[in-house]
Amino acid sequence: MSKRIPVIAGNWKMNKTSTEAKQYVSELSGMVAGKQGVEIVLCPPATSLAAVSEMLGGSDIIVAAQNMHFENSGAYTGEISPAMLKDIGVTDVILGHSERRQYFCERDEDLEKKAVAAIEAGLRPILCVGETDAEREAGETEEKLRRQISTDLSGITAEQLPGIIIAYEPIWAIGTGKTATPQIAQEACSFIRGLLAELFGEEAAAAVRILYGGSVKPGNIGELMAEQDIDGALVGGACLSAADFAQIVDFQ
């Protein structure tokens, strides 16, 4: 195991009303109370962020948004700004999830601006990258990861890099039950760390937490976490049950 502190993040996606969110947080808080040596991050939908953040104020559980705009205010109907997230106690933000790239046309050029805006606002980005099934079949995984990371992080300095979390989420493994084998996930995470070393230097790259995401469950978290370059997980479906998520948090 690496010396980097593991991060287990639960991406709720478009699930749970605010009422359900509060119920979940009170259940989960009891289950993970006193848990040391792992950072726990909850990523509720925008409508529950304020309530969840208020409930967790003073606890070690971190609250992340699932997306944000890169401007702090303006005529962008339906969008939420970095300043608005900060104001309600949110500290982290998922950027570039494949569902946002696929369904909401989020481009690497947008993510470059979002990464800089998040850092400037004092929010920690959780930047998602990953290849499709077709790209993996065509042997284009590394090229895709290189393109995403080099563009999305082009406004970031080596000093800022350790304050960013990367989530490697192969699109073919998301919501499919088809988890990447620990070896495939490790290979990609190791490639990402090598790429970060090339772009930002060895020291900064060694400090970055790289998470794996894609059909993570209580039954496979242990073998994934045993890999050298996997520092945690971004969990979708399995985080919706507080009991399952608590079990994933308890992987050690």
Q: Under the rule (CB under 6 A), what is the footprint of ligand 13P?
A: 11, 97, 169, 174-175, 213-216, 234-238
119 vs 248, beta carbon nearer ligand 13P = 248
Provide the minimum distance between the beta carbon of 77 and ligand 13P in the complex, in angstroms, as a whole number: 26
Q: Which is nearer to ligand 13P, 70 or 245 (CB)?
A: 245
* Phi, then psi, of 35 in degrees rounded to 5: -65, 125
97 is annotated as an active-site residue: yes
Distance of CA 36 to the CA centre of its chain: 20
DSSP conformational letter for 156 = -
5 Cβ neighbours under 8 A, 6+ residues apart: 37, 38, 39, 209, 231
Count the neighbouring beta carbons within 10 Å of the beta carbon of residue 198.
12
Cross-strand partners of 168: 129, 212
Which residue, 55 or 239, has its beta carbon nearer to ligand 13P?
Answer: 239
Q: What is the C-alpha to C-alpha distance for residues 237 and 42, in angstroms, rounded to an integer? A: 13
Which residue has tokens 């699930």?
A: 15
In 3D space, the residue among 89, 33, 100, 31 whose CA is nearest the CA of residue 60 turns out to be 33
In the complex, least distance from residue 213 CB atom to ligand 13P, rounded to whole angstroms: 4
**Nearer to ligand 13P by C-beta: 76 or 104?**
104
State how far the Cα of 8 lies from the Cα of 212, in Å rounded to an integer.
10
Q: Which residue shows structure tokens 């009170």?
A: 26
Q: How far is the CB of 248 from ligand 13P (least distance, A)?
A: 10
Q: Is 169 a catalytic residue?
A: yes
Catalytic residue among 39, 97, 112, 227: 97
Name the minimum Å distance from CB 113 to ligand 13P.
Answer: 21
Q: Which two tokens stand for residue 118?
A: 């998040």
CB of 125 to ligand 13P, least distance (A): 14
> Exposed (0-12), middle (13-18) or buried (19+): which is 76, by Cβ within 10 Å?
exposed
Minimum CB distance to ligand 13P smaller for 119 or for 129: 129
Closest residue to ligand 13P, judged by C-beta, is 236
Catalytic residue among 39, 99, 131, 169: 169
As given in the structure block, the two tokens for residue 84 are 């608005």
CB atoms within 10 A of CB 156: 21
Catalytic center residues: 97, 169
